[in-house]
Amino acid sequence: MTDDEPRPVGVTRKTLLRAAVVVPAAPLLLAGVPALARTPSGQPLTATPQSCDDDLTPPQLEGPYFKPGSPLRTSMLDGTGTRLTLTGYVVGLACQPIAGVLLDFWQADNAGAYDNVGNRFRGHQLTDAQGRFTLTTIVPGLYPGRTRHIHVKAQAPGRPILTTQLYFPNEPRNSTDTLYDPALLMTVGSAGQATFDFVLNVPGVPSSPSPTPTTPPSPTPPGGSTWRPGVAYAVGAQVTYGGAAYVCQIAHTSLPGWEPPNTPALWRRR
Ligand SMILES: [Fe+2]
């Protein structure tokens, strides 16, 4: 299908993107939305969009409650609330899946409060080799002045950080929240299953995702060692790079392109 051909009613460019990207897992991830994976004639979609430029995920305000150093985890379940499982892909401008994207989520708890001392409902993770992520959490509570939302920072290796927020459909406050953007709506189905695909400003060609490093991580070197890829850095680890000294803010295993000057979410200059 090209841009000039009519699309099925209700099928946006983004859903076509998703249908193209998620072929291996479509039966599970697209449960409840079967129409998105079919053409009007009922034939399975086979076209792959050549560009995802139009679906570039827009930035949003960070807000006052971000803090660095969230734990590495895919589940933020902690306390009461309605369980929510958010899955999706991170792709670039050519709709290519991007492996190793740092996704740092934070949100309010069931009562609409942020944990500004500890790390409840804060966590970061990396997309897998197919550009996929899964976050297990709860539906965030409401707090004054805002509609329901989840904050997130997304950073592909060696690229700038995208800070944005994700929204829930059918929320009464969506119509009055001045930050609300329908381009950031998750698809939320029954049983607390939600999906959202990020499109980052990362050039590329539609192809297989970059291979993940095969070198096993080695322990964090003593403070002051030169930064290098393939190392499991802990919070507080100290490295040098390009003649400058840095302190690790978020535990992670380094990848090519994640040099400290390129990843301010991971490294603070001393
Ligand atoms: Fe917020």
Give me ligand 1 centre to Cα 119, in Å: 15
**pLDDT at residue 231, rounded to an integer:** 84
Give me ligand 1 centre to Cα 112, in Å: 9
At 18, the pLDDT band (50, 70, 90 cuts) reads low
- Top-confidence residue, 255 or 133: 133
- List the domain range (segments joined by +) for residue 118: 53-199
Q: What is the CATH number of the domain that holds 245?
A: 2.10.10.20
Tally of domains within the chain:
2
* pLDDT of 9 over the 60 cut: no
Give me ligand 1 centre to Cα 202, in Å: 26
Give me ligand 1 centre to Cα 224, in Å: 36
Whether the model pTM is above 0.85: no
Q: What is the CATH number of the domain that holds 175?
A: 2.60.130.10
Q: How far apart are CA 146 and CA 185, in angstroms?
A: 15
pLDDT tens per residue, range 137-190: 999 999 999 999 999 999 999 999 999 999 999 999 999 999 999 999 999 998
Looking at the fold, whether 100 and 174 belong to one and the same domain comes out as: yes
Q: How far apart are CA 134 and CA 221, in angstroms?
A: 30
Looking at the fold, whether 230 and 193 belong to one and the same domain comes out as: no
Q: What is the mean pLDDT of residues 233-241?
A: 88
Average pLDDT across the chain, whole number: 81
* pLDDT of 235 over the 60 cut: yes
Looking at the fold, whether 111 and 231 belong to one and the same domain comes out as: no
* pLDDT of 266 over the 90 cut: no
Looking at the fold, whether 192 and 231 belong to one and the same domain comes out as: no
Looking at the fold, whether 68 and 170 belong to one and the same domain comes out as: yes
Give me ligand 1 centre to Cα 235, in Å: 25
Q: How far apart are CA 178 and CA 176, in angstroms?
A: 6
* pLDDT of 15 over the 80 cut: no
Q: Is residue 13 part of a domain?
A: no
Q: Is 167 helix (H, G, I), strand (E, B) or coil?
A: strand
